[in-house]
Chains A and B, each alone.
Chain A
Amino acid sequence: MLELAHITKTYNGSGGETVYALNDVSLRCERGSFVVIVGSNGSGKSTLMNIIAGSDTPDTGNITVGGKKLLSMPEHRRAATIGRVFQNPFQGTIADMTVMENLALAYCCGRGFTFKPALTRQLREEIRERVAGIGIGLEDRLTQSMSSLSGGQRQALTMLMATWRKPRLLLLDEHTAALDPRSADLVLNLTGRIVAERGLTVLMVTHSMQHAVLFGERLIMMHHGQIVYDIRDGEKRRARPSELIARFEELRRADRMDESVAGLLRAQYH
């Protein structure tokens, strides 16, 4: 389904040195798999998401989704293939349009923004039904402006919008990190439900080790632009948050070691 081959992305560090945001990353995900990605800040997980979605371009490498080459397509042409939910709950919806209008835009995704009337009676019915399906009473607020809703409510609607037509791949970029715990639970439950109901292929980045062990059947840990840890199925089911945190600590210790060695070397050469 999703295949990343040797993706590398570099940028210039403050001292003019080359920094690898992604260093020769390859990854294969099967259809219908739910892959969780964890990693510290700057480990490259967000860059990876941006490159798949098309808001960033890699230096080298190749990406295919369902056999379709992605890199030659601009971001908006990938949208029919890839659904995306951002960390910022205000980024995925349009604040000063109504809930109904937002969902009508989601309906147009993949169908084209043509001169046809946007909100037909049939579509209004469909929207009402599917919003009611979320189960948080938003079907009574369809004509209200999106800006009148809370972050959690908006993120729930973004989930619905990103999956309105079944995307081949769903990218969840820390999509509950900016929400209060109750809203985060709500959005995560909804995520699980939608993904299961529709059999979606998902890449989910998260900072929460609890969520990382609860969701998905495969877990990937990134560090310094590389995949350092990749477990699935039985091993993934047995994983505990404490183990993951221990792994992080280990990586961090190794980093500190590197730094102190570098410091020693610098001291000798200056």
Chain B
Amino acid sequence: MKTRVLRVILFFLAIIIIPVFTLFGEKETVSYNENKTLAEFPELTLGSWKSRSFMNGMADYFSDHFVLREDFIRVKNKIETLIGKNEINGVFEHNGSLIQTFKDIDYTLTDRNLSSLNKLKAKNPDTPFYFMPIITAQEKFKDSLPSYLNLDSESEYIEYCFSKLKEIKSIDVSREICSVDYGFYRTDHHWTTDAAYHAYLKASKELGLIPYDNFEIKTVTNEFKGTLYSKTLNENIELDSINVYETDTKFKLSVKNDVFDSLYFNEYLKEKDKYSFFLSGNHGIITIENTNINISKELLIIKDSYANCFVPFLAEHYSKITLVDPRYCSHTQIKEITPSDYDGVLVLFNVSGFSQEQNFALIEFMGGK
């Protein structure tokens, strides 16, 4: 009998304490790990009741503010790992690093993206185009990753892309990246500045540049917890550090109507998304001017966020670089850009991002000669 009373008491405590803390406990308004504003308490009206938006709002509110939410999620991830489902939200833990898996590749989307690129090149036949796909951590560790993960091969994917390009030079920096010890963050899906530096050494040859070597290497933070942490909430991974390769060169960085005098933004080092330290994160169009270079030498880069830590190296060599991120660009913005106005066009994406990029076709709206 005693145990029965205990069971009833425990059950009622659970179903009373959880809602009390969820509804009346201290609340966050923003979830950094999910990059969203958390739901507010829905308003009850006849309309919101009939359309069920009140009910859906309640469900969102309740789950967004659930007491000990992230701890419960960690418990779930732990159970899943124990029973063999150790890939959590597409992320695998391997030797103290989190690795985003590259699998189930949709080649039709890749074909569409490559054909957009070929079309743009055909419109600008006299401008040299370069395609520089960047591997992700999976490629570096592929030999030691378990085969049951059923991964696709990034090197084969890169070969496939190269084989489809017409009149576009390919730059393969895979080997250079793999040679770097700390080439990828442990808690984030990006490559490190060290890896980007080695890629720069190789790419300069293809772009006809003499690599600059007077960099001062500084660590700006060693408390970086990136996107892969957010996906897994795995607390067992050592935090990452972010390096920067600095020179004395003066730059002017413009985003829309704002002009800054640095490529680096220290204020982001205090926030969750520390990778935005580079170029202040992703924007539709960014222009970088190097005031030390007097002759006009301009480069257009079509890119994703992998370019953000790489561009500072190239910025030493060009009087102006325009960065176009098709994911954040509007149709009208992209129409203003004409590749033939530049001395070269570099397309830089990470393979995983490129294989899933739905907005890449937007570049077809760029101008031509």
Q: Answer whether A and B are interacting partners.
A: no
- Interface residue ranges, B against A (CB under 8 Å): none
- Interface residue ranges, A against B (CB under 8 Å): none
